[in-house]
Amino acid sequence: MDKVLAWAEKITTWHEDFSKNPPLARQMDLHNNRVGRIIFEKDPHMEAADVIDLLKSKAAASVKVTELKETEAIDSNCFIHLID
C-alpha cells in the first residue's frame, strides 16, 4: 500500500511539475490528487462504479477557491475547484 501511494503521489506531482499551471490551479490539482489517494487508502478494493459515484459526489460538493491561501483551510476530504 505504501509503495502504491508513494508512486501515485510521485507521478501526479511530476505531472504538475511537467505541465505548468498557474499556482492556484497547481495547488488545486495537488490537493485533489491527495484526496484521491486518501479515498484509495481508505478502501483500496472499492468497485469502480462506487469510486465513480463517490468522485461525482465529491465533485458536486467541491469548494470554490479564488486565492492560494484559501486552499490551506480546505478539508483533506473535500475537492476544490476554481470555476463555477
pLDDT tens figures, 47-84: 999 999 999 999 999 999 999 999 888 888 899 899 86
Q: Which residues, 6 or more positions from 39, have their beta carbon under 8 angstroms from its beta carbon?
A: 46, 51, 54, 55
Query: What's the distance, CA 32 to chain centroid?
Result: 1
Say which residue the cell 469548494 belongs to: 63
pTM over 0.85: yes
Structural domain boundaries of the chain?
2-81
Q: What are phi and psi of 64, to 5 degrees?
A: -80, 135
Question: Across-strand partners of 64?
Answer: 81
